[in-house]
């Protein structure tokens, strides 16, 4: 079943535990992720069909990525930390924001997506696989 990845928001009112292994770890440079993170990209640790336990009540806001994907972002209503994201059309997918992990060193990006929206101040590391948009399935 894999290991357990746990984490939460800055004030600890939201907590999660995900049992399983990440399907992919990536940095996304789409404009929506830039706006959400306040910098040139947002990092995502993506789990598929993992066992997820949530504690606390998150606030949510929907957003639409550059490719048209509807996302449901969860954040703490007290401290404002972005913690996880889901997709209404793909309930089996659960994404955590790596900075919210109890051990953020577990995050190791494997690729960069949406480089065509990348900003000069946040260049894609040359050793990572990069895609102008989303990679083919």
Cβ-proximal residues to 83 (8 Å cutoff; 6+ apart), any chain: 7, 8, 9, 14, 16, 58, 74, 75, 76, 96, 97, 100
- What CATH number labels 4-115? 2.170.150.70
Averaged pLDDT, 119-132: 93
Q: What are the boundaries of each domain within the chain?
A: 4-115
Looking at residue 37, its pLDDT comes to 86
Residues 49-85 pLDDT 10s: 999 999 999 999 998 876 788 999 999 999 999 999 9
Looking at residue 134, its pLDDT comes to 86
Overall pTM > 0.85: yes
pLDDT surpassing 80 at residue 21: yes
Spatial CA neighbour of 114 closest among 49, 9, 20, 31: 31
**Cα–Cα distance list, 75 to 2, 16, 93, 123 (Å):** 26, 12, 17, 27
């Amino acid at each position: 079943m894999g290991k357990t990845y746990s984490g939460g928001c800055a004030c600890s009112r939201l907590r999660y535990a995900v049992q399983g292994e990440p399907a992919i770890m990536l940095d996304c440079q789409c404009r929506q992720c830039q706006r959400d993170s306040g910098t040139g990209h947002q990092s995502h640790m993506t789990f598929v069909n993992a066992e997820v336990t949530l504690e606390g009540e998150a606030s949510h806001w929907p957003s639409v990525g550059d490719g048209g994907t509807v996302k449901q972002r969860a954040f703490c209503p007290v401290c404002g930390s972005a913690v996880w994201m889901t997709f209404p059309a793909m309930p089996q997918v659960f994404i955590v924001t790596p900075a919210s992990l109890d051990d953020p060193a577990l995050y190791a990006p494997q690729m960069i997506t949406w480089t065509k929206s990348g900003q000069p101040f946040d260049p894609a590391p040359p050793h990572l696989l990069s895609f102008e948009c989303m990679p083919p399935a």
